Structure 1
Amino acid sequence: MNQPESIQMLEANRLGLKIAGETIIHPLSFQLKQSESLAITGASGSGKTMLGRVLAGQLSPSSGELLINPGLRRLMVDQQDHFIAFSGRRSLHDGLRYENQDMEMEPTVQEFLLRVKVKNTTGISETALSELLKQLEIEHLSDRKLLQLSNGERKRTQLAAVLLQKPGLLVLDQPFVGLDFHSRANLNRFLKQQVDTGLCLVVITDPKHIPESISRVIELKKGNLHQFVRRDAYRPDFNASGMSFPDLTLPLFSQLSNPKHTFFNLVRMNQVQVRLGGRQILKNISWQVQSGEQWALLGPNGAGKSTLLSLITADNPQGYANDLILFDRQRGTGESIWDIKKHIGFVSPELHLYFLRGAGIYNTIPGLGASGHANYSAMTCLDVVLSGFHDEVGFTSSPTDGQQKSARAWLATLGLTSWQKRPFVHASLGEQRVVLLARALVKSPPLLILDEPCQGLDSQQTKRFLQLLNVLCHQLKTSLIYVTHRKAEIPACVTHLLQLENGEVKSKGTYDGSTFQWNH
């Protein structure tokens, strides 16, 4: 039976948080009633995720108190899924995701969720499980290997795993990031259904994607409570970026050189086919990226975008079996993956995970494991940027003075000068993504591949980064493949579009920022 609306579900009294002596959240106070739900917004680095972890019980406040209804089960879905355990070896690549023989021991979606179901002490019927998967549109993924899911599919699987634990209070960290328009709309409807049945929902999100089911909004600014208002009274402060940026002019670009190598065909593929686990992932893909071109790669979740990129980054071994030219050289003529990677600056949600050490697949299910989230690497932000010179994940070889200078210059340009010696893990997810962008740019590669690079960035950071890309492509003639679900996020420098659907080319042609010319 629901309690009367006047009874508090949650109450924070002068709640504050410090980590390693640094104040993350300044003392703040607010209340949620039994029927209310909450959005937490604010610039990247404002403390949103840390406040969410306190509310979910993953972190204890350093000061003040948090009063919660007794017996309320609290769980959190992190923005990063931690489905894979990372070894922390010096060099890793993403190819294992695309090799069937190395995936035999990995669980399928069904095996993963059944493990959750077995551990669930409250019990759930097979019918209820099937209905949950149907509502989240992942019932067709039951036999798919967990680590072969697309970014959007992984997010929905994360949510299913948590809902099987029947939480009373659920914290979702950026649940709409990486989802296409259809998936976002469907998740919005689904969350409203959950709230209507009594779930206390806390969503960490940007102001543009606050779910319809939210009744209260907290906006943080540099760890302080900037606003706590009803949803209909909320007026976002879009100028409240958590980072300050220097001017995007010289001297940075005066010390950067154009790419050392000149190529005609950066990518040329002819009738490319990729099958994985008995499924056709890509079918008859023909595509050419020439030097100086900037492409946007579009398509819904599961369209095959990540698999297509894996052929270009040399992480997918099926590149050898296809008619594929990379940097004017036929794939499989004696080149190593590192010969290819040295020409590419790369950012993706999956790469981000390689810089976080997880505890494995099953024991990171919220509510099942001893720890709520992963243990992280001790690399500094400068270490991460320097790793881009040698395409390493882990501590790099000894960098040269020139490499150190270039890495610091990129951090300064992206507004992270003060983060050089700080551990990567102590940055917010948005700040971590900016550091990885610097890692991709640091060697001035002839080709940038940016897969949803603005995930986790606030509006000012996104605007800043798109401006930076435009300057880069103009100043250094850098070629670009830019993956996004949002056409409004396509950089002005983009000259061509490729759109995938169900593993096939839906459209391909030139683009001038508003007009698309389809090339048959």
Structure 2
Amino acid sequence: MQFTDVMARLHDGRQLCFDHWQIQPGEYWAITGTNGSGKTALSCLFADELRLSHGQVSGLPQSVAYVSLEAQAAQIEFERKQDESDLNDCPDFGTRVRDLLQPLDAQVNHWIDALSIRHLLDQGFRALSTGESRKVLWINSLRQQPDLLVLDEPLEGLDQNSRHALSDELERIQQQGQAIVWVANRLDELPPWITHVVFMHEGQMLYCDRKATVLAQPEVAGLMHFDRDLAPFPEAIHQYDLAPEQPLLRLTDVSIRYQERTLFDQLNWQVEPGQHWAIQGPNGCGKTSLLQLITGDNPQCYRNDLWLFGMQRGSGETIWDIKKHIGIVSASLQWEYRATTNVLSTVISGLYDSIGLYQATGDSDKQLALQWLELIGLRDKANQSLQHLSYGEQRLVLIARALIKQPPLLILDEPCQGLDDPSRQLVLSFIQRLAQQQRVTLLYITHLADEIPAAIQQRLQFDLNDGYSQIRISTD
């Protein structure tokens, strides 16, 4: 493959441009760089999906399969559009996993067992957790046997065992000659078989050479290093009337069941103000379902004994009575945020608990949102469309949206997903400061132990066995 004198306009008005790039047989390239640098746009060249204003391209592969957070979001949106729940008067969980992965030949069955998803074959795609759906799309891409496999943040959303299993499978198919391009925010996740690296920044190809040469560049180290002081948080403008002697959450003998499967049961759990929790466990164990009980996004909250902010669920409270006390960051929220809106309105919408902004706002709301955008380094993109930002930049905007009202309870479901190293360190600094201030209580989900700030002392651990989770509570 060869690219010469390439120039293309990006969504935000910048130009992606470089002089020359050539990929020879036997070379394994990674595209890396900062959030919003043009990494994903560059990878779209392989499938001729980026409109060029200038340049020449030759030697493109006949078939290209993409594995990315964006492709996962597109599949979820497709399944949502096929939803026939209203017509059938029963929940529609989407296309069965078995049907998505047909034919179930020996190779597909090998991947099903390697990624431990055989128990999911008869479940609908929309009923899967974020990590489970990612595994299914992984196998769906691999079974196509493409001429080129483009892996954009391939390990995001996977638990540790799944990361190891997938890394082993990728190394196996790489040794068999499968052409692969790896797109990465984190340099420490590049596999050892990567031979060459492109480093992007602000739409420019800064370096394009052998891996060791590029990673040794001082400019690369500087751009991927977080070295600025964290500015003070803006003053909170919301006041919450909560009884200090009341726990924020109290769950008694709580269970979640889907059809014939019991995900977990007899959970007794209480969260006191200022008591921060890390919630851990493998893909599909029930972490997200538990959070959806708390936010009211799972209807099983009404048949369980839940007290939230001094209110018992099902006692006449509205969903807004609950949501006004909660801020949330999650992949599902990011996929739901399909409203046509700019970055500033997205952050302001956190004050009103809405997906999009549907009412007039005052100057104080706008100034507060601009302060949060300044903190995350995206103030210059306040008037850009949210959908035109990179996945990592969108995630930073949604973090600002969750923090703007500094709620009593902040739910962070893998907040660092899709972030480059400097942005990841920025967000972890936010979390550490919030935990130390104790005005906001944190429920924090991550698969990576090194992303748990020291101030988070409580643990809710899910242990999954044959589709059923046992839950352990501990304190560091």
Stretch of structure 1 that moved more, 399-408 or 45-54: 399-408
Alpha-carbon offset, residue 429 of structure 1: 0.9
Question: Match of 1:6?
Answer: none
Residue identity matched to 1:227 = Y
3-state SS in 1 of match to 2:251: strand
Identity of aligned residues (%): 34
Contact 1:169-1:202 at 8 Å conserved across structures: yes
Change (3 A) 1:506 1:378: closer
Change (3 A) 1:36 1:86: closer
Question: Match of 1:159?
Answer: 138
Residue identity matched to 1:37 = Y
- CA distance in 2: counterparts of 1:184 and 1:451, whole angstroms: 18
Question: Match of 2:166?
Answer: 187
Question: Match of 2:274?
Answer: 292
3-state SS in 2 of match to 1:85: helix
Q: 2:385 matched to 1:405?
A: no
Contact 1:16-1:27 at 8 Å conserved across structures: yes
Unmatched segments (≥5 aa) in structure 2: none
Q: 2:305 matched to 1:323?
A: yes
Pairs aligned (count): 461
- CA distance in 2: counterparts of 1:148 and 1:66, whole angstroms: 41
Q: How does 1:409-428 map to 2 (within 5 A)?
A: 409-428=371-390
Q: 1:68 aligns with which of 42, 56, 59?
A: 59
Question: Match of 2:76?
Answer: 84
Q: 2:45 matched to 1:50?
A: no
Deviations 1:24-64 (A, max 9, x none): 42214222222222111111111111111122332233322
- CA distance in 1: counterparts of 2:7 and 2:376, whole angstroms: 29
- CA distance in 2: counterparts of 1:219 and 1:268, whole angstroms: 48
Question: Match of 1:142?
Answer: 121
Deviations 1:62-89 (A, max 9, x none): 32222225x6312222213123338999
3-state SS in 2 of match to 1:84: helix
Contact 1:259-1:446 at 8 Å conserved across structures: no
Stretch of structure 1 that moved more, 73-82 or 43-52: 73-82
Contact 1:297-1:499 at 8 Å conserved across structures: yes
Question: Match of 2:415?
Answer: 453
- CA distance in 1: counterparts of 2:69 and 2:146, whole angstroms: 18
Q: 2:260 matched to 1:278?
A: yes
Q: 2:24 matched to 1:33?
A: yes
Change (3 A) 1:11 1:242: farther
Question: Match of 1:215?
Answer: 195
Moved over 6 A (4+): 86-89, 242-245
Question: Match of 2:223?
Answer: 240
3-state SS in 1 of match to 2:316: coil
Question: Match of 1:262?
Answer: 242
Alpha-carbon offset, residue 307 of structure 1: 0.7
3-state SS in 1 of match to 2:170: helix
Change (3 A) 1:341 1:442: same
- CA distance in 2: counterparts of 1:156 and 1:58, whole angstroms: 25
- CA distance in 2: counterparts of 1:249 and 1:31, whole angstroms: 43
Q: CA RMSD in A?
A: 2.6
3-state SS in 1 of match to 2:75: coil
Change (3 A) 1:238 1:320: farther
Question: Match of 1:107?
Answer: 95
3-state SS in 2 of match to 1:22: coil
3-state SS in 1 of match to 2:55: strand
Alpha-carbon offset, residue 233 of structure 1: 4.3
3-state SS in 2 of match to 1:293: coil
Deviations 1:232-286 (A, max 9, x none): 44526343159997x5334x43x32474233421111122111013211122211
Question: Match of 1:387?
Answer: 349
- CA distance in 2: counterparts of 1:88 and 1:148, whole angstroms: 11
Q: 2:454 matched to 1:462?
A: no
Alpha-carbon offset, residue 491 of structure 1: 1.9
- CA distance in 1: counterparts of 2:395 and 2:333, whole angstroms: 10
Change (3 A) 1:241 1:210: closer
3-state SS in 1 of match to 2:14: strand
TM-score (norm 2): 0.90
- CA distance in 2: counterparts of 1:144 and 1:39, whole angstroms: 34
- CA distance in 1: counterparts of 2:193 and 2:226, whole angstroms: 30
3-state SS in 1 of match to 2:69: coil
